[in-house]
Each structure stands twice: as C-alpha cells, then as structure tokens.
A and B are shown apart, each in its own frame.
Chain A
Amino acid sequence: MRFSTMDYFVKETYKSIRRNGFMSFASISTVAVSLLVLGMFLMIFLNTNNLAQYLESQVQVSVYMQDSATAKELASVKDKLTKMPGVVKVTQVSKQQALERFKKRLGDQQQLLSSLGKENPFPNSFEIQVDSPERIKVLTPQIGQLPKVETAKFGQEVVEHLFQLTKILRFGGIILVVFLAMATLFIISNTIRLTVFARRKEVIIMKYVGATDWFIRWPFLLEGMTLGFCGAVVASLFINSIYSGLLERIHATLAFLPLLPTYPLLLYVDVFLLVAGTGIGALGSYISLRKFLQV
C-alpha cells in the first residue's frame, strides 16, 4: 500500500468520525461501558483465582495447645507431629511470637493492643505443613487426639468454597463476555452501517472508477477500529483508577487479603481490552460492509 493511500484512508476516517459525531460518541460510550464491565469482571475472576491458589498452597494445619502444657509436653507433641506420615515441616510458634506477629499485622493501629493489657491471649501453637491437601483430612483428627492439644484446624473448606466460586465465575463470565461482545458488535456495526449509508454515493462512484473492494473497505474498517479502540481506552482508564484506588483502601483495612498487585495485572487487562475493542470494531464494520459492497 502506498503512503499516499494510507494518508488518504486516515483523512477519510477522521472526516467520517467527525461527520457522525453523535453516533461516534454513542458507539465509543457503548464500547467503553461493555469493556468496563468485562474488565471489572476479569479483575474479580483473576483475583478470586489467585486467592484460591494462594490458600491452597498454604495447606497447613494449625495446632493450638492448652495453656497448661509444659515445655516438656510441648516438646513431646512436636516430636510426635514430626514423625507423622506426610508431615513436611513443623514450626513451633510460642505465645510471644504469636503476639509479635499480631503486632506486625496491626501496623499503625497498635493502640488496639493496649486494651489487652499485660495479658498475652495467644496460645502456644504449631504450624504443620503437609505434602498434600488430601492428607490433611486424615491427619487433623489424629492430631486433635494428642495430649494437651486444644484444637487442630485446617483451611480446606475455605479453599473448596473458593474453587467452587471461581468455577461459577468462569461459567457466568463466559456467558457475560459473549453477551457483551454481541451487544458491542451490534452497536458498532450499526454505526458503520449509518456511515456507509451516508457515503453510499461515494462508494458507488468508487466502484465505477475502479476501486478494489479492499480500497473501499479500509476507511470503514479503520473507523470501526478507531471507535472500538477509543472505547477500550476509556474503559482501561476507568479500570486502572478503580483498581488502584480499591487496592489502596483494601490494603489499609484488610491487609491480609492477597490481592494481585497492579503490575503486571493492569497491563495485561489493558492490552486485552484494547485488542478486544479494536477487534470488535473491525468485525462490526466488516459485517455491515459485506452486503453493501456487492455492486
């Protein structure tokens, strides 16, 4: 393709978008809203998935000891735990260590500690890492039977619920994506149809002077792609600021929630939205041109 031709296409596209100012605006807005919903959904999905994976990797049993347990009894329990089949690692957490951990987690809200007074409410405990999630179900009740053990807990249920949730999200997501994509496609192809209609005389003359179908198609395709791309940019900007803002707020209050950091997540989501928006724009134009070009 010649440079002068590309130049011509770009000018035509620009003129056309301006001429259909209102419809162009409406298309960009529709694309933006659809992609915004799509993007938000994607963020929720990716985060839930990440959370489930994170929790699963933490297949550990927490064993809380009674306060009456002596150092000797603690050592004996630790010994027994270490010898159990499937146990990879046993970490002893003293009352003092548990308190320290809690202090760290509180961050700048240390004043909450003062209400505790001198009392340390945390029990002695063991954290046991096991080689597989299945093993946990068998081990946990056994551990509960050991002397001076208050309770033995594991987070498996939470993990299972989360995986179920991601499954539902994935299924609902696919339906939502298809629905949104069709709506966007419809809007863009309608806009381009109006453009084509407004320029039908021009298209007919182009055919008479020997323009190839692709020469006629390009400006319209570019128009659709531009509308899709602009919509995607708007959606991306919203998503970026919403997620960054959300992340800040959540870090302040629910610090332990393992949310995905903005980079590279936002980069991926933005690229996805831009490609999706542009692609939908091109497809929408192509659809509305198909019928029209048969002169």
Chain B
Amino acid sequence: MLIMSDVSKVYPGGAMALQDVNVHIEPGEFVFVVGPSGAGKSTFIKMLFREVLPTTGSIFVNGVDILSLTPKEIPFLRRQLGIIFQDYRLLPDRTVFENVAFAMQVIEAPHRKIKRQVMNVLDLVGLRHRANAYPNELSGGEQQRIAIARAIVNDPVFVIADEPTGNLDPETSWDIMDIFKEINATGTTIVMATHDKEVVDAMGKRVIAIEKGRIVRDEKEGVYGYEI
C-alpha cells in the first residue's frame, strides 16, 4: 500500500515540481504515470524511494511514514523496493550474474541462497544463458532485463520503474512489458513512469497523468491520452 497525501514539492529556486498530489495505490496494482517532460513525473517517482523529499505533505509506504525515517533507516525502506532506471545502471566490470548477485550481497544474503535466487530471476527474464557475459556484450533490451532481474531478486513489495523502455525500440519494449506483467501477476505492485503511448494504451492499466505538477487524470483502465 502506497499513500501520498497533499504532497507538494518546491525546488530551491522556486520551481514548483508537484502540487497537492493525492494518490492511493493498492497492493498488486499496475500503475502508469504519464505526462509531458518536466511535468513532475520524475519527482513523483523519486519521492517513492526517498531520493527527493516533499516540501509539504506525507508519504506512507506499507504503513510507514517514509518522511520520518532517519538516514539509517532509509536502506531498509529501499530493500522493499525494486528500482529500475531508463539507463539500466549496470556495473560494466561485473558479469550479468555478479550484477544481479550484487543486490543480494548488499543485504548480506547467504552465499547459497544468492546463487539459487539469482539463477531463478535470470530464468524469469530469460537470460540464464548469459550469466557470465558482461553488460557491454548485451543489447539494450537484454541489459534492461538484467536491471529488472536485479530489482526483483530480493522479492520487493514494489517495483518502481522510471522510463524503463525509454531507450528501447518498440518490439523490445514489448518484451520488457511482458516481464513486468509477469512480475505483477505474482502480486508485486508496479509503478512506472513512461512516455510509451502504445504500451499504455494496449495494457489497459491504471493511468495517472501529471501536468504542470498536478494530477489531471487518474483512471482505472486508462489510456496515454497525449499526442506524440
């Protein structure tokens, strides 16, 4: 469960990024966040894992007021979240296996569990056979699939994705979306900022549209709604 109430964000310098945002996301939902560039999508997403703090309002993740967390508690919030970026953010000097295992080493999982679990998620994203490859030997779509594997390897409650298909061609984007659908089917909540009109329209999931920092639309089975 994810609740934002009356959240506003003013950046230093006076730029108003978000204004009076109220959102309620139930467990297991698949939510697209759409809107023109600079509308506040990124700020919205970054607030969920506490990279950006709102100026006013409150944010609850699974009943925890994440604004009241001390710096020491932030890592434990992030362990419940799987975060995926447009630019994959893989480590170039580590193999696919190591990149995924990294997320488990960080939370001090035991060796044997790491091996099993990493192989499981690599299976899920269909890249088990590339476990020993390095990221630069993979295509963009494959790299993003590794990033997804890394995000879900610790069984997060939420997966938060910031334009995950922004750098990919339409066909590859569909492969990626299929993986997200599969993850969502296991009960994981997904919040995804995207510009991908076709995907949003075809998926028929909840759509939150942000314009000039305000939520202008929140529909259960929404469409992208903007001309590209």
Task: State how many angstroms separate the Cβ of A65 from the closest Cβ of chain B.
Answer: 83
In the complex, A145 Cα to B48 Cα: how many Å? 98
Interface check A254, CB cutoff 8 A: no
- Which chain B residue shows the least CB distance to A206? B106
Contact residues, B23-81 vs A (CB, 8 A): 49, 51, 71-72, 75-79, 81
Contact of B71 among A4, A202, A213 (CB under 8 A): A213
In the complex, A210 Cα to B158 Cα: how many Å? 14
Chain A contacts for B77, CB-based, 8 A? 210
Chain A contacts for B81, CB-based, 8 A? 210
Contact of A205 among B49, B51, B79, B91 (CB under 8 A): B91
Interface check B83, CB cutoff 8 A: yes
Interface check B133, CB cutoff 8 A: no
Contact of A209 among B51, B71, B72, B106 (CB under 8 A): B106
In the complex, A12 Cα to B218 Cα: how many Å? 46
Chain A window 184-212, contacts with chain B (Cβ cutoff 8 Å), 1 for yes, 0 for no:
00000000000000000110111111111
- Which chain B residue shows the least CB distance to A12? B105
Contact residues, B79-108 vs A (CB, 8 A): 79, 81, 83, 89, 91, 102-103, 105-108
In the complex, A206 Cα to B78 Cα: how many Å? 10
In the complex, A202 Cα to B107 Cα: how many Å? 15
Interface check B150, CB cutoff 8 A: yes
Task: State how many angstroms separate the Cβ of B93 from the closest Cβ of chain A.
Answer: 8
The reply to whether A211 and B71 contact each other, CB–CB distance below 8 Å, is no
The reply to whether B107 and A210 contact each other, CB–CB distance below 8 Å, is yes
Chain B contacts for A201, CB-based, 8 A? 89, 91
Chain A window 214-225, contacts with chain B (Cβ cutoff 8 Å), 1 for yes, 0 for no:
010000000000
Contact flag A210-B108 (CB < 8 Å), given A201-B89, A205-B89, A205-B91:
no
Chain A contacts for B89, CB-based, 8 A? 201, 204-205, 208
Chain A contacts for B116, CB-based, 8 A? none
Contact flag A211-B75 (CB < 8 Å), given A2-B108, A4-B110, A8-B105:
yes
In the complex, A5 Cα to B111 Cα: how many Å? 9
Interface check B188, CB cutoff 8 A: no
The reply to whether A5 and B76 contact each other, CB–CB distance below 8 Å, is no
- A205-B91, A215-B106 given; name 10 further pairs at CB < 8 Å: A4-B111, A5-B108, A206-B106, A207-B78, A208-B49, A209-B78, A209-B103, A209-B106, A210-B79, A211-B75
Q: Can you spell out 21 A-B residue pairs with CB atoms less than 8 angstroms apart?
A: A1-B108, A2-B108, A4-B105, A4-B110, A4-B114, A5-B108, A201-B89, A201-B91, A205-B91, A205-B102, A206-B102, A206-B106, A207-B78, A209-B78, A209-B106, A209-B150, A210-B79, A210-B107, A211-B106, A213-B72, A213-B75
Give 4 nearest A-B pairs by CB, closest first.
A210-B79, A210-B78, A211-B106, A209-B103
